[in-house]
Structure 1
Amino acid sequence: MVLDWFSWLAVWKQCDYSDGRWVWDDGHGGGGGGRPRELRHEDDVQVRRQRQARRRVPALAVAAGGGNLSALDPAAFLRLVRGKRLAFVGDSTARNQAEALVCHLATVARPVTVRRDEERLGRKFWRWSFPAPHDVNISTYWSPFLVRSEGHSEDYAMEHEVVFLDALTEPWAADLDAMDVMVISAGHWFPHGAIYYDDGRIVGVHNRPDMNRTEMSVVDVYRKVMQRTLERVNSMSSGDKLVVVATIPPAHFDSKYSWNHRDACSRQTPYDAGEAKVEDTEAALRKVVLDEVAIAAARRRRRRRGLRFEVLDVTRLASMRPDAHPGVYIFKHAYAGGPVPETAPNDCLHYCAPGPVDTFNDILMQMIAGGG
């Protein structure tokens, strides 16, 4: 049994979507009318792997007899967020989710692509506008550490990072108050070698044996950044706002191969129950999000403002889908079944649409709707 979209709201809080299993979608769930068969970016045509969409069944709802997570209905979503600004802030996993959402919404309404300061920022800022009667804007803000950084994340020719823990990045911090729905998704850049500054001085490093400085834990740095980010959101939001913080979706690079080997993420089926393992660092980063969002939510309740914090807990559900990455299908000949050299561009980090990234947006829709 698959509940319709509105029935799902009645059982939303009873379903633990973060701890369930993946099942094949028969195409009849929800009101979405099926998934887009591939994702293409308007100016960066990167063909995503065609796959049967799999839907996720929350474990508690299965025991109760029917709590399937309803598929996002693009027309209903546009009605729900009419006149609002949605922003995805963080690293490329945030952009991955935003692009999948825009792709799905584009099946019912044609978006207009708007860029700001393209020459300087490139894909670090992107905005899609769904004109009247929707008046919906969806933006992505490149900010892999959420705070200001210089180094490899800005220039791949550089080897390390310099991270300023007390300086949030522009332009997302400047646009913060105008956001109605803010999705924060970051984490994959934190294990990189880095020098950390705070209040104008070096306070530590990570994975920099060439420097005689205090080694800082990636998890501690992530917690500090998350605390300061949510404190800024709390202090700078004057109106109603939903702030959703995503936990880290794991990559699935097969340790038997180098990252750019054609078989680095070639699995064709999801993991079975108990087969997937969330690594210690990813589990710790997930817990930081759970802890800090709970603290931010408690602080918000004391101030009684129209600000709501939620966790988009995707770590465990994404960990079960090693089959859902673009893999070597970002290589232009692979999609057509052509030969792929042993060493080729390979993506075992981002998720294809249809697949897990669509499920992230299914859950996001329920969070938006749950606020009334």
Structure 2
Amino acid sequence: MGGKILNLISFELEALEVNVYSSFPNQPFTFPRPFSSRARRGEGCNIFSGDWVPDPDAPYYTNDTCSVIHEHYDCMKYGKPDLGFVNGRWQPDRCDLPRFDPWRFLDMMRGKSIAFVGDSLARNHKDSLICLLTRAAEPKPSWPSSKQTVYYYGEYNFTVTNFWAPYLVQHEQIDEDRPAHTGLWNLYLDEPDDVWAAHVAEFDYAVVSASSWFYRPSMLYEAGKIVACHYCLLANVTDLTLRYEMRMATRAPLRVLSGADGRFRGTAMLRTVDPSQYEGGEWNKDRNCVRTRANRSGKKRLEDFEFDFRKLQMEKFAAAEKAAADAGGKVRMMLMDTTAAMILRADAHPSKYRGWTPEKHFTLHNDCVHWCLPGAIDTWNDMLLHMLMSA
């Protein structure tokens, strides 16, 4: 496989993922229909359009008060020198987005369940929620399987579950992975991963996200047959674009969550693509994220595959939302468009300031994809609570 192809392949060892990123815009953002909030001047509010402002009250937890912070996100423990990354608050343009209230959230969730489905960024999001809730309650954790973690809040009869499903659809590795992540995978694009899909009837709320694993070489199946591949370089197999793979692998999970087969009857959220923010070279050749403050709104934009993937997510979400409405509205669909907020926070990635367990074939690389805890990712849960209260 040639060097040009290798440079496009993303890296993740369950804890480190890389996307293609550019800081130069080629098209403007478009945002989904806004959620109402405490709007100023009588105007509507889009909570996904705004800027970062100082928050002198942050952080609301630390690595001493929250035991679930994964070592890959524990920037305080591993000595990140500039703690400005913990102090920002997302401020929408024409309204206020209140900070997450753990007591209000738990009271709203009495007798309910929420699932975070996806790759290690879904886990990053879940960890943030558990940490924010520690001010009000501590959960009892359990591990039904290697790909499922459950946190139960007995006083509230409330359950948080995290499902490891990096492609969202069924997948299997058929060729050994290597340092540049050139191992080959089978992806069954029309089959949602049973790791989570078998449990959808149990969810009141589901937050779904995945992106970075799609950059790996893969054989693409539909209806049980090979239809194409992505970077496989095999004779007599059509090599389709990454966009096709992403489109199909997004559509299948959203069909389930829109209530197409009658199992899911809750609220589904699709979280948009998260930007990786490497600078100064290739991801596996000392690229890093060394900024110490947030960028201002409009200073960075998505392009290339990340821009296309977000556009595909919007497209497939709109189709799923319509399908849910046509089916009688028993399912509520929501889009959590965190992309514009997070592209401004290159300062809030772990970089080299996190733990690491050496494994075969792998060396330590800077992490400019995941988010420090506490930090900017906590605003995802500000958004989550606001969206649930506003719907």
TM score, norm. by length of structure 2: 0.79
Q: Are 2:382 and 1:362 aligned?
A: yes
Cα distance in structure 1, aligned partners of 2:149 and 2:245: 27
Gaps (5+ residues) in structure 2?
Answer: 1-35, 77-82, 357-362
Gaps (5+ residues) in structure 1?
Answer: 1-7, 28-32, 62-66, 333-342
Cα distance in structure 2, aligned partners of 1:223 and 1:305: 24
Which residue number in structure 2 is paired with residue 135 of structure 1?
157
Q: Matched residue pairs, number?
A: 336
1:81–1:248 distance in 2 versus 1, CA, 3 Å: same
Cα distance in structure 2, aligned partners of 1:109 and 1:148: 35
Which residue number in structure 2 is paired with residue 151 of structure 1?
173
Bigger CA drift: 239-248 or 320-329? 239-248
Q: Is the 8 A contact 1:239 1:305 kept in 2?
A: no
Per-residue deviation at 1:54? 0.5
Aligned partner (choices 122, 134, 137) of residue 109 of structure 1: 137
Matched residue of 2:312: which SS? Answer: helix
Cα distance in structure 2, aligned partners of 1:222 and 1:69: 31
Map 1:219-238 to 2 at 5 A.
Answer: 219-233=243-257, 234-238=259-263
Q: In percent, how many aligned pairs have the same letter?
A: 27
Per-residue deviation at 1:354? 2.7
Q: Is the 8 A contact 1:101 1:361 kept in 2?
A: yes
Bigger CA drift: 187-196 or 50-59? 50-59
Per-residue deviation at 1:346? 2.4
Per-residue deviation at 1:221? 1.8
Amino acid aligned to 2:99 = A
Which residue number in structure 1 is paired with residue 317 of structure 2?
293
Aligned partner (choices 38, 53, 56) of residue 87 of structure 2: 53
Cα distance in structure 1, aligned partners of 2:324 and 2:167: 24
Aligned partner (choices 258, 275, 288) of residue 250 of structure 1: 275
Q: Is the 8 A contact 2:350 2:371 kept in 1?
A: yes
Cα distance in structure 1, aligned partners of 2:161 and 2:176: 19
Higher helix share: 1
Q: Are 2:118 and 1:90 aligned?
A: yes
Amino acid aligned to 1:57 = Q
Amino acid aligned to 1:208 = C
Which residue number in structure 1 is paired with residue 49 of structure 2?
19
1:149–1:239 distance in 2 versus 1, CA, 3 Å: closer
Matched residue of 1:235: which SS? Answer: coil
Cα distance in structure 2, aligned partners of 1:284 and 1:349: 18
Q: Are 2:224 and 1:200 aligned?
A: yes
Cα distance in structure 2, aligned partners of 1:154 and 1:97: 29
Cα distance in structure 2, aligned partners of 1:319 and 1:44: 22
Amino acid aligned to 2:271 = A
> What is the CA RMSD across the aligned residues, in angstroms?
2.6
Per-residue deviation at 1:256? 2.4
1:81–1:165 distance in 2 versus 1, CA, 3 Å: same
Which residue number in structure 2 is paired with residue 64 of structure 1?
none
Which residue number in structure 2 is paired with residue 335 of structure 1?
none
Q: Is the 8 A contact 1:244 1:309 kept in 2?
A: yes
Bigger CA drift: 289-298 or 230-239? 230-239
Cα distance in structure 2, aligned partners of 1:153 and 1:179: 34
1:246-285 deviations in Å (ceiling 9; x for gaps): 0011111224254363x61222112233321312211111
Which residue number in structure 1 is paired with residue 99 of structure 2?
71
Cα distance in structure 1, aligned partners of 2:256 and 2:313: 16
Cα distance in structure 2, aligned partners of 1:154 and 1:162: 12
Aligned partner (choices 173, 177, 190) of residue 197 of structure 2: 173
Q: Is the 8 A contact 2:165 2:195 kept in 1?
A: no
Aligned partner (choices 329, 344, 347) of residue 305 of structure 1: 329
Which residue number in structure 2 is paired with residue 352 of structure 1?
372
Cα distance in structure 2, aligned partners of 1:17 and 1:178: 29
Which residue number in structure 2 is paired with residue 4 of structure 1?
none
Per-residue deviation at 1:297? 1.4
Matched residue of 2:346: which SS? Answer: coil
Cα distance in structure 2, aligned partners of 1:363 and 1:146: 23
Matched residue of 1:140: which SS? Answer: strand
Per-residue deviation at 1:41? 5.0
Q: Is the 8 A contact 2:38 2:96 kept in 1?
A: no
Q: Is the 8 A contact 2:243 2:309 kept in 1?
A: yes
1:217–1:247 distance in 2 versus 1, CA, 3 Å: same
Q: Is the 8 A contact 1:46 1:330 kept in 2?
A: yes
TM score, norm. by length of structure 1: 0.83
1:175–1:53 distance in 2 versus 1, CA, 3 Å: same
